[in-house]
Amino acid sequence: MRMQKLAWPYILWMLVFTIAPLMLVAYYAFTSYDSSGNIYFTFEGFKSILSMESTVALDFLGLNSLFGIDLQVPIYINVFAKSLSLALVSTLICLLLGYPAAYILAQRSRKKQGSSFLLFMFVLPMWMNALLRTYAWLALLEPNGIINSFLSIFNVGPIQFLYNDFGIGLGMVYNYLPFMVLPIHSVLLKIDRSVVEAAEDLGADSRQTFARVIFPLSMPGIFSGINMVFMPAMTTFLIPDLLGGGRYLLIGNAIERQYMVSRDYTVGSALSIMLLVFVLASLRVLTRYEQDNSGGGVLG
Total domains in the fold of the chain: 1
Q: Do the domain assignments include residue 62?
A: no
Q: Do the domain assignments include residue 11?
A: no
Q: What percentage of the chain exceeds 70 in pLDDT? A: 89
Give the pLDDT confidence score for residue 246 in this predicted structure.
74
Give the pLDDT confidence score for residue 23 in this predicted structure.
92
pLDDT by residue (tens digit) across 49-71?
Answer: 888 777 877 777 766 666 666 77
Q: Do the domain assignments include residue 10?
A: no
Q: Do the domain assignments include residue 242?
A: yes
Distance CA 90, CA 93 (A): 5
Angle (CA) 42 44 48, round 5°: 165
pLDDT by residue (tens digit) across 11-33?
Answer: 888 888 889 999 999 999 998 88
The pair phi, psi for residue 69, each rounded to 5°, is -80, 135
Question: Is residue 186 within 8 Å of 266, Cβ to Cβ?
Answer: no
Q: Do the domain assignments include residue 40?
A: no
pLDDT over threshold 90, residue 260: no
Q: Do the domain assignments include residue 59?
A: no
pLDDT by residue (tens digit) across 169-182?
Answer: 999 999 999 999 99
Domain that holds residue 156: 75-292
Distance CA 43, CA 265 (A): 13
CATH number of the domain at 84, please.
Answer: 1.10.3720.10
Q: Do the domain assignments include residue 55?
A: no
Q: Do the domain assignments include residue 63?
A: no
